[in-house]
């Protein structure tokens, strides 16, 4: 058996000798190229994060992985104002996270974590603590002044993540079929 690179598309050509009828079994690996056991998906309950979940569920099914849903509540307002923190947001986040996790767990093994703090720090720390193999996160695709003022949580997660990150953009050519378990909200 000879294996030669092909000039097109970076492929290989396998040539068998006349006495060989098939590729030897030891040459074909049945092991997957990589294993995913835990996939972390940050959720903020927006259409974007629901789209990231729509990507994460087939990944989890294909690899038999657990989905770990993480919702981060910021303990302070995003704009500099002197207002007390509304703890009802924490309760609402907990209820909504429980609802999403219940829906997801009907299809794949899942768990959920509610954290308080700076989103990118909490997401990367959760990935580290929970030994995540992959983070699937969405991005809103903000540009200009909004992005400069608030920064991009997704960019910061990519920068500090302890594992690979798959970014799902709000508007892109999808390679998954629409999943009706998370209908788009009418905004």
What's the pLDDT at 40? 97
What's the pLDDT at 152? 83
> What is the CA 83 to chain-centroid distance, rounded?
33
| Token representation of residue 108 | 């794949």
Tens of pLDDT along the chain (187 residues)?
677 777 766 666 777 777 777 666 555 556 666 788 999 999 988 888 888 999 999 999 989 999 999 999 887 655 555 555 454 455 567 888 888 888 898 999 999 999 999 999 999 999 999 999 999 998 875 555 544 544 588 889 999 999 999 998 877 666 665 555 555 544 4
What's the pLDDT at 183? 53
Domains of the chain by start residue, with CATH: 35-169 (3.40.50.620)
Q: Strand 12-15 vs strand 2-5: parallel, antiparallel, or unpaired?
A: antiparallel
Cα separation, 114 vs 122, whole angstroms: 10
Residue 44's contacts (CB-CB under 8 Å, 6 or more residues apart) are 71, 72
Whether the CB-CB separation of 42 and 72 falls below 8 Å is answered with yes
């Amino acid at each position: 058996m000879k294996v030669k690179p092909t000039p097109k598309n970076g492929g290989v050509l396998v040539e068998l000798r006349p006495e060989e009828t098939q590729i030897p079994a030891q040459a074909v690996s049945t092991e997957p190229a990589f294993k995913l056991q835990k996939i972390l998906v940050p959720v903020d309950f927006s259409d974007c994060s629901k789209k990231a979940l729509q990507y994460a569920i087939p990944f989890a099914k294909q690899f038999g992985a657990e989905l770990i849903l993480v919702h981060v509540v910021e303990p302070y307002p995003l704009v500099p104002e002197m207002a007390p923190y509304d703890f009802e947001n924490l309760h609402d986040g907990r209820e909504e996270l429980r609802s999403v996790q219940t829906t997801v767990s009907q299809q794949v093994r899942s768990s959920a974590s509610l954290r308080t703090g700076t989103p990118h720090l909490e997401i990367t720390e959760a990935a580290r603590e929970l030994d995540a193999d992959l983070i699937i996160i969405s991005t809103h695709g903000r540009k200009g002044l909004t992005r400069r003022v608030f920064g991009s949580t997704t960019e910061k997660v990519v920068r500090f993540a302890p594992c690979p990150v798959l970014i799902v953009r709000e508007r892109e050519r999808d390679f998954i079929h629409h999943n009706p378990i998370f209908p788009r909200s009418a905004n």
